[in-house]
Amino acid sequence: MEPRTQADLWNERYTRAFESYGTDPNDYLREVADRIPDGPVLCLAEGEGRNAVFLAGRGHPVTAVDLSEVGLAHARSLAADRGVILETVVADLAAYEFGESRWAGIVSIWAHVPSALRPDLHAACARALRPGGAFVLEAYTPRQLTRPGIGGPPSADALPTAAELRHDLSGLRIEHCRETDRDITEGKYHHGPSSTVQVLAFKTGQP
């Protein structure tokens, strides 16, 4: 029997539609959504599409990328229910072609990746943003490991600090990059007091 892949694990998690993380957008994304300029938005590790559908409802053409075919099928269903159009792409972020100066916004909500991949991924995001484009991120920090079972991956290697993200995103103008403690209620797997890092950054230059 072949070993299970990460895609297999996420497909299994999304078997019960919207049980894992719900259908409402992330609170931080909702807070800063009006800072994303008009134009196409890319949502990373988007799962069942709650953030992508929210942004599509605000008028953005949105592309949702995720490893899970099952999750993205649910995303398309949610988009249809909400009366919006959503493009979905099944891909590993390590191999995805972000393009150059393509996106008005790139959204990374809980897109936890290994530390070895993180700098290249964020450099690709910076290149892919249009001048004036916004990068929005929320992720769990290593302090979340003191709260097992509330949310986030179990390995510190996948949990960034604000200092690491400032280094990775040095090609962008960082408006804020802050670590915070807040309560999160997002379905079965994100529920309770949480330690996160939140980033809002912009590509320099005129749109």
| pLDDT tens sequence across 65-96 | 999 999 999 999 999 999 999 999 999 999 99
Which helix (DSSP H) or strand (DSSP E) does residue 78 occupy?
Answer: helix 69-82
Quick: pLDDT tens for 11-29: 999 999 999 999 999 999 9
AA identity, residue 165: L
Q: Would 39 be classed as within a structural domain?
A: yes
Q: Would 207 be classed as within a structural domain?
A: no
SS3 assignment, position 193 = strand
Average pLDDT, the chain: 96
Both tokens of 198, joined, read: 């939140």
Q: Would 1 be classed as within a structural domain?
A: no
pLDDT of 1 > 80? The answer is: no
Q: How many folded domains does the chain comprise?
A: 1
Q: What is the CATH number of the domain that holds 130?
A: 3.40.50.150
Q: Would 15 be classed as within a structural domain?
A: yes
Q: How far from 79 is each of 37, 43, 71, CA to CA, in Å?
A: 21, 14, 12
Q: Would 137 be classed as within a structural domain?
A: yes
AA identity, residue 63: T
Q: Would 131 be classed as within a structural domain?
A: yes
Mean pLDDT value across residues 155-178? 97
Beta bridge partners of 181: 195
**Residue-range definition of the domain harbouring residue 119:** 6-202
pLDDT confidence of residue 179: 98
Q: Would 60 be classed as within a structural domain?
A: yes
Which band of pLDDT confidence, cut at 50, 70 and 90, is reported for residue 40?
Answer: very high
pLDDT of 173 > 60? The answer is: yes
Which band of pLDDT confidence, cut at 50, 70 and 90, is reported for residue 206?
Answer: confident
Beta bridge partners of 44: 108
The reply to whether the predicted model has a pTM over 0.85 is yes
Q: Would 152 be classed as within a structural domain?
A: yes
Measured at the alpha carbon of residue 69, what is the angle toward residues 68 and 70, in degrees to the nearest 5? Answer: 90
Both tokens of 176, joined, read: 């804020």
**Residue entry with tokens 């259908």:** 23
What is the distance between the alpha carbons of residues 143 and 36, in angstroms, rounded to a whole number? 29
pLDDT confidence of residue 200: 98
Q: How far from 97 is each of 42, 128, 145, CA to CA, in Å?
A: 12, 9, 32
Quick: pLDDT tens for 138-160: 999 999 999 988 999 999 999 99
